[in-house]
Copies of this chain bind each other. A is one copy, B any other.
Amino acid sequence: MHIVHRVGIQAPADKVYAALTTLDGLAGWWTRDTTGSARPGGAIDFRFRTAGGDEIGGFGMDVLEQEPQRRVRWRVKDGPPEWVGTEIDFDLAQEDGFTIVRFGHRQWREDSEFMAHCSTKWATFLLSLRDWVETGRGQPAPNDLKISNWH
């Protein structure tokens, strides 16, 4: 089972790529508490907190692959059991004045309710990525769009 999404961003590929391969970029659209090394061979730590600062959870990712302006791939090494071992990839392409982001979060072991939640959350974060790149204003956690009782 895979989660897949596709969004178009009206900006050059190098700006989108920077948002996926720098700590500042990632903190601009996914979660403000992003640390580690976003370089190939590095590991990135994404922490999620309440508005009050309490930690809710997080993910540790190994950076498996980076091809400038084209592709980024991570593997989850720490986090909820459903996520550990799954892979996340972003493929970039140019079409009609957009940088198209094809997103995959792959190799889920089962089609769970949590996977459905994560699928919807990824859509909102990819639109946050778009807003961050196009306007400089994303909605990273803890200011992310809440979609249910699971946040």
Question: B95 touching A102 by the CB < 8 A rule?
Answer: no
Task: Check: A147 CB closer than 8 A to any chain B CB.
Answer: yes
Interface residues of A (CB under 8 A from B): 1-8, 95-98, 100, 102-104, 111, 113, 115-117, 119-120, 123-124, 126-127, 130, 145, 147-150
User: How many identical chains are in the complex?
Assistant: 2
Inter-chain CA distance A103–B103, complex, in Å, is 20
Most buried by B among A3, A4, A8, A113: A4
Q: Is the interface of A mostly helix, strand, loop or mixed?
A: mixed
Q: Which residues from chain B contact A7 at a C-beta distance below 8 Å?
A: 120, 147-148
User: Which residue in B5, B97, B111 is a CB contact (below 8 Å) of A119?
Assistant: B5
